[in-house]
Structure 1
Amino acid sequence: MTDIADRAGPARPRRVTLRQVADLAGVSTATVSYVLSGRRGGSEVSAETSERVRAAAAQLEYVPNQAARAVRTGRTDVVLLSLTMLADPWSQSVIDAVVPAVRDRGKTALVLPDSDWCTALDRVQADAVFIDAVTPAQTPRLRALARQLRLVAFSETLDPDGFDVVRSSDVPGCRIALAHLLTSHERIGSLTSVGSSGGRNVRHGVWEKAMQDAGLPHDDSLVAEFRGSSASAYRAAIDLLSRSDRPTAIYATTDFAAIAAVNAAQRLRLDVPGEVAVIGVGNARETELVSPSISSVGPRDLFTSLATLLTRRAQGDDSPGELHEFVWELFARESTTGTTDHMKASS
């Protein structure tokens, strides 16, 4: 009869310990820990000893026990990014700024793509967490977690309460975007996102008010709606630009919609900005990289500042949470006519 142990296959090999690496290298476990972790104490170890430790670790196929290390040091070397929409160039700009910054400090950034941070933070440990959207219902949970974790929240309404708040009010910047287009255009379309309930967003309301203040009649044929994806924005832009009395300029309420609008114009063989100008909202890094580069409004240096803040928190800064505010500016690029000067938004 086959023994149960035989049917189960060979036993899993036991994890190699720091002590085994230390014994093989002929050094203390503290020296092994310093060398393999890259902590400051490792700089006091000679190059010859460091090489001996690394050779011993390689020979034994040593794999660090991250869970044990987290218990011992109080650090996980993980920074968690909770991002609502990965397809949005804004989210990609956060990733592009944060990932290399924390990697340079020996940490790893993990991206949570569906913004379900309430559940994830019950299962994943992290030295610092960035959350790009907090609903009113989630606020009590955020405050409770802030007693255990170093949190950074992106919000226009929350105030620091044991966590950092990054605030960047978009309405003043959207006003500047419309003012920029109104210097050369009257027939300005709004490429705007709508929620699951069908309601248009606040950024579209800025378009309505700007057109009214300019003495221009409301024209619903200048509005095209999309639902939360680049593909939907592209289809809406194609529809808007295919109309018999199409707009001469498009105000897109997100940068990914602005990129979709430029792609749609090019598909329809319309010159940008000669036949249709396009401006976006957010100043994501990708707006500078596409051709033609896309005008946008947004805060300067938000992404690099966020990376610096998260790195500082992840390294153990437990000072009280602060409010970090960023003023929006106009970044006029190839997709619109007019000046290339930057204009700061007023509140």
Structure 2
Amino acid sequence: MKPSSRVTIRDVAVAAGVSVATVSKVLNARYGVSAATSAHVQSVIRELGYEASLVAQSLRNHRTNVIGILVADLEPFSTELLKGAAKAIKGTGYELVVYSAGGRSSDHAGWEQRYLSRLSGTLIDGAVLVTPTVVDVDYGTAVVAVDPHAGPSGLPTVDSDNLLGARLGTQHLLDLGHRRIAMLSGRPDLESAKLRELGYTDALRAAGVPIDQALIQVGNYDPDASAEAARRLLAGPDRPTAIFAANDISAIAAIEVAVGMGLRVPEDLSVVGFDNVPEAALATPALTTVEQPIHEMGHRAIDLLIQLMRGEQVEATHVRLTTSLVVRQSTRAIGANA
């Protein structure tokens, strides 16, 4: 047996000098094996580092003690969410696996149903779905949705106050004297994106600023789409003096486009993002953004899921966390000295 190969139950049997059936009996604590033989087999198991597959464990124990986190793709938001989930799982007795759809366009709708059908009952006991497209179905296992596409549903959810956050970001620009404020909106199919656009328009209306639809461009939460949209906004004769982007990656893409066009940020253009992922603080200039507590969202999703898996009473199955403004160097008042 090569040292790098996976240890099998047959390898254990050969090393212990017993049959596969005997090893199976030891693993399942069945009768018919002497105490001395059982102790010997267990010693070999420890020595070889044998671990039964998750499928075998589920068949034996009717559970795997594994929680799955299913994401459409690994990007800054989901990566930060995983950090909070990993912290929450410590000391619970559960393990964590991450399953990514890889960002395939064909999986944008209904991807979570397909993947849960593969994993539930044999590989995982429960799942956290990140930005799922479908929330009103019975998945056959305990599930918590983070930032779901649809609005309120019967599925337990964790999200942040996207409406308030967008108002805060837009109001910050208004307070700095900006009136021609553009927006790079998010994915049209996501509830969070709709709420962020609504928060933007609400803040403008409250300030008496007319809504100019030409200033609202779809960034799709994607850097390439956002760069293209920012270029359209900034190339016109009456360009905006500020941009509110629906996520940080879109905001950073807008800054890069502006600088490439010879504009200075924030002297010529103020930019506000949303999320406060680590890239925001590392941007040049450092990005003013709306912070949603992404780590806490991951933590709370795991906490809620484990309560549901254990059949415990939960205070609320719909958790909404607050958002706040983080002011850095990418915004400046109109007319302020350089």
TM-score normalized by the length of structure 1: 0.69
Contact 1:249 1:277 in 2 (8 A): yes
CA shift for structure 1 position 29: 6.4
Contact 2:68 2:96 in 1 (8 A): no
Query: What pairs up with 1:251-330 in 2 under 5 angstroms?
Result: 251-300=244-293, 302-307=294-299, 309-310=301-302, 313=305, 317-320=310-313, 322-330=317-325
Query: What pairs up with 1:36-75 in 2 under 5 angstroms?
Result: 53-55=45-47, 57=48, 62=50, 64-75=52-63
In structure 2, the CA distance between the partners of 1:202 and 1:16, relative to structure 1 (3 Å rule), is closer
| 2:168 paired with 1:170 | no
| 2:99 paired with 1:110 | yes
In structure 2, the CA distance between the partners of 1:311 and 1:16, relative to structure 1 (3 Å rule), is farther
* Equivalent of 1:149 in 141, 147, 164: 141
Structure 1 residue ranges without an equivalent (≥5):
1-13, 35-48, 339-347
Secondary structure (helix, strand or coil) at the match of 1:251 reads: strand
CA shift for structure 1 position 222: 3.0
Hey, what does 1:93 align to over in structure 2? Answer: 80
Contact 1:234 1:260 in 2 (8 A): yes
Task: Name the CA distance, whole Å, in 2 between partners of 1:167 and 1:193.
Answer: 16
Q: Higher mean Cα deviation, 276-285 or 209-218?
A: 209-218
Secondary structure (helix, strand or coil) at the match of 2:285 reads: coil
| 2:122 paired with 1:131 | no
Task: Name the CA distance, whole Å, in 2 between partners of 1:234 and 1:77.
Answer: 43
Task: Name the CA distance, whole Å, in 2 between partners of 1:314 and 1:22.
Answer: 38
User: Percent of counterpart pairs with the same letter?
Assistant: 24
Query: What pairs up with 1:195-206 in 2 under 5 angstroms?
Result: 195=188, 201-206=194-199
CA shift for structure 1 position 274: 2.1
In structure 2, the CA distance between the partners of 1:22 and 1:73, relative to structure 1 (3 Å rule), is farther
Query: C-alpha deviations, 1:313-337, integer Å up to 9, x for none?
Result: 4595332453322011112222223
| 2:326 paired with 1:334 | no
Amino acid at match of 2:79: Q
Query: C-alpha deviations, 1:196-254, integer Å up to 9, x for none?
Result: 8xxx9443343333223323344444333334532111111122122222222111122
Task: Name the CA distance, whole Å, in 1 between partners of 2:127 and 2:329.
Answer: 36
Count of residues in correspondence between the two structures: 294
In structure 2, the CA distance between the partners of 1:274 and 1:24, relative to structure 1 (3 Å rule), is farther
TM-score normalized by the length of structure 2: 0.71
| 2:73 paired with 1:82 | no
Query: C-alpha deviations, 1:5-27, integer Å up to 9, x for none?
Result: xxxxxxxxx942596288369xx
In structure 2, the CA distance between the partners of 1:267 and 1:317, relative to structure 1 (3 Å rule), is farther
* Equivalent of 1:158 in 128, 147, 152: 152
In structure 2, the CA distance between the partners of 1:139 and 1:73, relative to structure 1 (3 Å rule), is same
Query: C-alpha deviations, 1:158-213, integer Å up to 9, x for none?
Result: 35x5x5321323112111111111111222112224648xxx94433433332233
Hey, what does 1:23 align to over in structure 2? Answer: 16
